[in-house]
Structure 1
């Protein structure tokens, strides 16, 4: 009886071991993914892909987080608090400053998703009215910072132009505008529409009239992730591309999810969808002309003294995404 019991117990142990090994073999691979800011509609495909199980279909368990701008995102990558960062093209300048990461794919083209906004109650209605005004941006060296400087350059405002002030995210920006410390803010277009509906801010212009070629957003991956887990990078990029395809085919569901993620009305989310969806890359390839504008922006913003080599900033190992 004892011998039979021991044999049965052994069999069960073997079964449990096989099941455990099978589970481990099929377990989802974890990736820590961070967004430069939490309130941009262009970053919501991460949430859509997670909620619709698209990343899971590619064998990934995504742990998502958000930051107060590109500089903080890069700090998290440098500190090994993230595996992948969803940030701005200008953020590639940090690679030349020693951040142990590289851009692995382009995510978004010209900055149609960005806008200049002003206090609704101030007499600011046109681009020219922005001269001499203080506009909040997320962080120094961010895309929002560059847009302010780009407008100055395009308008020829070498003195008394737009002054950009690093303020972080929406909460401190709204407080600073409300108290008169700032005249406006450069940020996500959909946020401007939402606050315009509430007569708090007014959208003066989108950013794309001032930029012909650009790479607004890219995906960053830590160098050790690229070296040790390249298939995880590929799986993430495939999951993102599949998510973009889903969003294009399912506007209503996309609007429903994204409106909740960034806390805007469905009408604002629908407007963002119509205006911004066409700009998403479907293959992650780095546009050569966009890269050249980016590299020049590093000099214009004082982020770098010399234009870096492409290999310092990004790798083409993972594109085109198929």
Structure 2
């Protein structure tokens, strides 16, 4: 995604995007999810398809295609090719600030729980406080992982001068650098961590060290709001059903995730359970059911200051629309 979440995953996991070609709500359609089959943000849509939730709400979704990132999703939304998408908050804010008619219609991931930091098993670094003098990796300049690295240093009670931060160009190269001794601490994402048991030692998951930071949001355009409100409501409802299954029965949800994400049901269940573990003082879960969790949105917007971008002038009421959420998710901005 652009900037902050363009950020997250340095081009590998960037902002999760779903798109739907503009067509009659009764028509068979495919949805297009950025990094589908790789990025954890897209897992609820695999569950919605596999468990039949799209059918239950009256949507004829025949398949899910992948796309390379959130930036193309926003471009397609604005070009009229998509009615619904997921994108990182700062990508959406940058587009809105530039005059785009984008509206945020739900929070789909309330935290960056899929991101953590690892060391090699024999590393003397046992806690984040031990990072003084260490080499800490991040994916790309002006990325989410760069901002998170700076936040992690602060959370450890250290200063930026006490930890050397190094751009590696992606999560994979960062882990390779860690293995070859060029880094002491590297960021990692699920499901890479769970797919490589014992290879790295977890230092911390992001939500255990940092405040909630919104991962991705459901977005649409004023045009889609006017032309396809029923479709938007059904998409949000089908996704909510999927998230509820993932929270209440990870093993069952994992059956629908395993195939598209090329992992065993056991690993898929582990990833789902890990990400849906409530974290922080507010017991926030990774996948939200749609409610706009304002604290995590504000935290991420504020974190952009670390990268030289100031969003303190945001008028949230002007850029959000909760009318397409399931009834029990409306108006929950501050909870």
TM-score normalised by the shorter chain: which range applies? 0.7 to 0.9
Shift of 1:90: 4.2
Give the equivalent residue in structure 2 for 1:263.
262
Separation of aligned partners in 2, 1:26 and 1:78: 19
Equivalent position of 1:133 in the other structure = 135
- One of 289, 303, 317 as aligned partner of 2:323: 317
Which residue in the other structure is 1:103 paired with? 104
TM-score, with normalisation over the residues of structure 1?
A: 0.73
SS of 1:106's partner is strand
Q: Taking structure 1 as reference, are residues 28 and 272 closer, same or farther at Cα in structure 2, changes over 3 Å only?
A: same
> What is the distance in 2 between the residues matched to 1:26 and 1:115?
39
Residue in 2 that maps onto 1:291: 297
- CA displacement, residues 164-217 of structure 1 (integer Å, 9 cap, x when unaligned): 63724x55555555566655543424422322x152x33211011233344333
Summarize the alignment of residues 77-92 of structure 1 with structure 2, pairs less than 5 Å apart.
77=77, 82-92=82-92
Structure 1: how far apart are the matches of 2:178 and 2:44? Answer: 29
Corresponding residue of 2:118: 117
Equivalent residue number for residue 216 of structure 1: 215
Asked if the contact 2:107–2:288 (Cα under 8 Å) also holds between the matched residues in 1, the reply is no
Contact persistence 2:239–2:289 (CA under 8 A):
no
User: Partners in 2 of 1:208 and 1:281 — Cα distance?
Assistant: 13
Structure 1 pair 181–27 and aligned structure 2 pair: CA distance change class (3 A): farther
Q: Unmatched 5+ residue regions in structure 1?
A: 1-23
Instruction: Answer yes or no: is the 8 Å Cα contact 1:55–1:239 preserved in 2.
Output: yes
1:259–1:79 Cα change, 3 Å: same
Q: Secondary structure at the match of 1:64?
A: strand
Taking a change above 3 Å as real, the CA distance of residues 280 and 152 of structure 1, as seen in their structure-2 partners, is closer
Q: CA deviation at 1:233?
A: 1.4
Aligned to 2:159: 157
- The answer on whether the counterparts of 1:36 and 1:85 sit within 8 Å (CA) in structure 2 is no
TM (normalized to structure 2)? Answer: 0.71
Q: Is the 8 A contact 2:140 2:168 kept in 1?
A: yes
Equivalence map 1:8-157=2 (5 Å)? 27-28=26-27, 30=29, 32-35=31-34, 38-57=37-56, 58-61=58-61, 63-68=64-69, 70-71=70-71, 74=74, 77=77, 82-98=82-98, 100-119=101-120, 123-131=124-132, 132-137=134-139, 140-142=142-144, 144-154=145-155, 155-157=157-159
Gap runs ≥5 in structure 2: 1-22, 278-284, 329-335
8 Å contact from structure 1 (residues 136, 184) kept in 2: no
The CA distance in 1 between the partners of 2:179 and 2:319, in whole Å, is 38
Q: How many residues align?
A: 294
Cα deviation for residue 225 of structure 1 reads 2.2
Q: Residue 160 of structure 1: CA displacement?
A: 4.2
Q: Can you list the C-alpha shifts for 1:57-93, whole angstroms capped at 9, x where unaligned?
A: 332425432435x556545555656443334444443
Alignment partner, residue 237 of structure 1: 236
Q: Distance in 2 between matches of 1:205 and 1:101?
A: 35
Please tell me the root mean square deviation across aligned C-alpha atoms, in Å: 3.5
Distance of 2:318 and 2:54 partners within structure 1: 28
* Preserved CA contact (<8 Å) 1:92 1:313: no
Per-residue deviation at 1:47?
A: 1.1
Deviates more, 1:222-231 or 1:31-40: 31-40
TM-superposed deviation, 1:26: 7.8
Query: Shift of residue 25 of structure 1?
Result: 7.7
Paired with 1:87 and 1:163, the residues of 2 have a C-alpha distance of 26
Q: Which of 1 and 2 has greater Rg?
A: 1
Cα 1:198/1:240, change in 2 over 3 Å: same
Higher relative helix content: 1
* Alpha-carbon offset, residue 141 of structure 1: 3.9
SS at match of 2:259: helix
Matched, 1:251 2:257: no
